[in-house]
Structure 1
Amino acid sequence: MTGTLYRLSAFTRDPRGGNPAGVWVGEALPDAATMQRIAAEVGYSETAFIAPLHGKSRTVRYYSPRAEVSFCGHATVASGVVLGRLSGEGTYELNTAVGKVPVTVRQVDGGWQASLTSVAPDYQSAMPALVEEALAILGWHFTELNAELPPAKAYGGAWHLVLAVASKTRLERLDYDFEALKALMLRENLTTLQLVWRESESRFHARNPFPVGGVVEDPATGAAAAALGGYLREAGLIKVPAKLTIHQGVTMGRPSLLEVEIPSRGGIVVTGTVVDIPEKAWNQKP
């Protein structure tokens, strides 16, 4: 199956920051085994596969190095920029495994920016047993959490466990049992843990363990940003409409900036800039 593979970093203006993504574009999608092989060879947390090459409506599938992922925000933003470069600014409709996700692409200050609008978000209060097990694996204590942002399972195309801590210091210290957390997340159908510290009403800091994708930590997670925005709205924890900024990847040396718009209803909008990864850095892992 012929196609072109691009390597980009999303939610940054510097290829040394953000979250790397592969974007494969062709006239027809490869078979599942081929997509999985390519994603493993690329080695980034996700690679998006898009077809057909022309038209405003495309089918997209996302693969981590180990498995298919229902939805991936940073690879969607990167895909939007690839489509914008190939076919011009505008809005492209991506038919994902979880529903239609429009992505709007524009040039800003000499660079490229894309905004995805998530499928309808959802959330559930996290069961105490799940929270207790996750905290034990992280080596955290319940008293370190922010009582104003209760633990929740949040959805914006994929499910995430949201745990908000009361201090930045707690968020900066992250060391967990990889296999134990992976097993818990597979059992609970979680894509990442969305670990956050709220600096202000509109400014958050996040870290996202991603062992189910074979990655210790994700430097920028657009799907989790959408899920967080949806959770805050649906749980009545923020006055809408609202805008948030999420800083992620700082502690791991890949600073990322995610802009989140929370309308009064409908999908959550996640915006980020995207840059190419130089060929000499293709084999460098985040």
Structure 2
Amino acid sequence: MAQVDVYLVRAFSVAGQGGNLAGVVLHTDRLSDTQKQSIAKQVGVSETAFVSQSNKADFQVSFFTPTVEVDFCGHATLSAFWLLRHLQHISAGSYQQETKAGILAVEVALNGDVLMSQNLPIWSAEFSAEEVAPMLGVQAQLISQSGLPIQAVSTGLVDVLIPVPYGVLDSLEADGSAITRFCQQHQCVGFHVFELNPTEESYTASCRNFAPAVGIPEESATGSSSGALACYLNRYLGYQQAVFEQGRAMKMASRLVTQLTIADEELTQVQVGGEGAFEKVLSINL
């Protein structure tokens, strides 16, 4: 029986701790989608990235949750390029990855930190606090008092961005079944809930991400959602840079840095980045 090595990397870790585990499999040109899905299910982390050759970019990368393939995954992208640098397959510099969300740029710093470009935001439906609040176990008025919209936004995957007041985030009780039904009905991946922090804190906002519809009850760092949230905070509050904390409630605190490029009052680039840390290697049977 053939075996495949899967590297586990903590993406968006803080000094080597916390972060979000992603699987990375290199040299996957001969693996079928069925095999990739089987590997991702056996690995059991929220996403596994499969790196292969591309005739359109430096690498082709596909992303599988334990239950389904997704078009893009931020933390698995960071893990993949951090690992390629860690294993000295690439040097620091600028690269392009071919994904189902398009060809996206990735920058690898000398210290191994990764800054990845995402798609420019696509703004979708807005929802009412009354629709969303029961699925998070909070009162609708707590969500609506921020004055910010509940909105579906995509910089690669469609997430519903939901504001809650400072101090409420850790007490949320997500109804996974209800969120799954809602996301399937509205063609979105998950709920990205955030609370803005006081200006003196090091993090712009703290976040939680619930994506049970794609097999992720809660995730400790979500790169794609962070890009969408950065664009949202720019549009409604004028932020151009933001640093997010995620995973605190899971005891897996993560740090996600975002940077927007604006030229002639137009948003031209969305980037999300952070550090990685090696966890271990798993051998998976095909």
What TM-score do you get using the length of structure 1 for normalisation? 0.87
Q: Which runs of 5+ in 2 are unaligned?
A: none
Q: Give 1:160 deviation, angstroms.
A: 0.4
Q: Please say if residues 118 and 226 of structure 1, whose CA atoms lie closer than 8 Å, have aligned partners that are also in contact.
A: yes
**In the alignment, residue 124 of structure 1 is paired with which amino acid?**
S
- 1-structure distance, mates of 2:118, 2:274: 14
Per the alignment, residue 115 of structure 1 pairs with: 115
Equivalences for 1:62-73 in 2 at 5 Å? Answer: 62-73=63-74
**Alpha-carbon displacement from aligned partner over 1:46-78 (angstroms, at most 9, x marks no partner):** 001111299962111110001011111100111
Per the alignment, residue 259 of structure 1 pairs with: 257
Give identity over the alignment, percent.
25
Kindly report structure 1 stretches of 4+ aligned residues shifted beyond 6 Å: none
Residue 101 (structure 2) pairs with residue 98 (structure 1): yes
Q: Please say if residues 25 and 53 of structure 1, whose CA atoms lie closer than 8 Å, have aligned partners that are also in contact.
A: no
Q: Give 1:3 deviation, angstroms.
A: 6.3
* CA gap 1:53/1:120 in 2 versus in 1, 3 angstroms: closer
**In the alignment, residue 183 of structure 1 is paired with which amino acid?**
R
Equivalences for 1:19-168 in 2 at 5 Å? Answer: 19-26=20-27, 28=29, 30-52=31-53, 57-85=58-86, 86-108=89-111, 112-128=112-128, 131-145=129-143, 146-168=145-167
- 2-structure distance, mates of 1:57, 1:14: 29
Q: Which runs of 5+ in 1 are unaligned?
A: none
**Alpha-carbon displacement from aligned partner over 1:25-66 (angstroms, at most 9, x marks no partner):** 115152111110000011110001111299962111110001
Q: Please say if residues 160 and 188 of structure 2, whose CA atoms lie closer than 8 Å, have aligned partners that are also in contact.
A: yes
- 2-structure distance, mates of 1:125, 1:159: 10
Return the match for 1:245 from 233, 236, 243.
Answer: 243
**In the alignment, residue 36 of structure 2 is paired with which amino acid?**
M
Residue 277 (structure 2) pairs with residue 278 (structure 1): no
What is the count of residue pairs matched by the alignment? Answer: 272
